[in-house]
Amino acid sequence: AQSVTQLDSHVSVSEGTPVLLRCNYSSSYSPSLFWYVQHPNKGLQLLLKYTSAATLVKGINGFEAEFKKSETSFHLTKPSAHMSDAAEYFCVVRPSGTYKYIFGTGTRLKVLA
């Protein structure tokens, strides 16, 4: 069965320091992978996506993620956190050939001044 595991439910970083949000997945075939961000009481916004092209994916607002098939990971990084990055982040998998999306339970990022 396909699944997504976000390894940290909460992450705190100081402003200006690097961000690492971890995601591991299991999927039978080559999946599509996504990171979304959600601010309080808002919908989800796409940060970036992997669809079997380059394994290092650049997204909006300075975020990037690396697809590592051998480790079944898709960790999200940013070199320098900004206060506006404080939000909830979801890792999502879409198995090949399906219309369904599988969501992780989310990681709440807190940015300290």
Partner 1 sequence: DGGITQSPKYLFRKEGQNVTLSCEQNLNHDAMYWYRQDPGQGLRLIYYSQIVNDFQKGDIAEGYSVSREKKESFPLTVTSAQKNPTAFYLCATGGGKVEQFFGPGTRLTVL
Summarize as ranges the residues that interact with partner 1 (CB under 8 A).
4, 9, 32, 34, 36, 41-46, 49, 51, 90, 92, 94, 99-101, 103-106
Nearest distance from residue 7's CB to partner 1, in Å? 14
Give the shortest CB-46-to-partner 1 separation in angstroms: 5
Query: Please, which residue, 80 or 105, has the CB nearer to partner 1?
Result: 105
Nearest to 67 by CA among 23, 4, 10, 102: 23
CA distance 13 to 42: 23
* Cβ distance to partner 1 smaller for residue 12 or 51: 51
Comparing CB distances to partner 1, the nearer of 34 and 63 is 34
Instruction: Supply the minimum distance, in Å, between the C-beta of residue 11 and partner 1.
Output: 15
Q: How far is the CB of 41 from partner 1 (least distance, A)?
A: 7
Beta bridge partners of 61: none
- Strands (E) located in 1-113: 3-6, 10-14, 19-21, 23-26, 32-38, 44-50, 56-58, 64-68, 73-78, 87-94, 102-103, 107-112
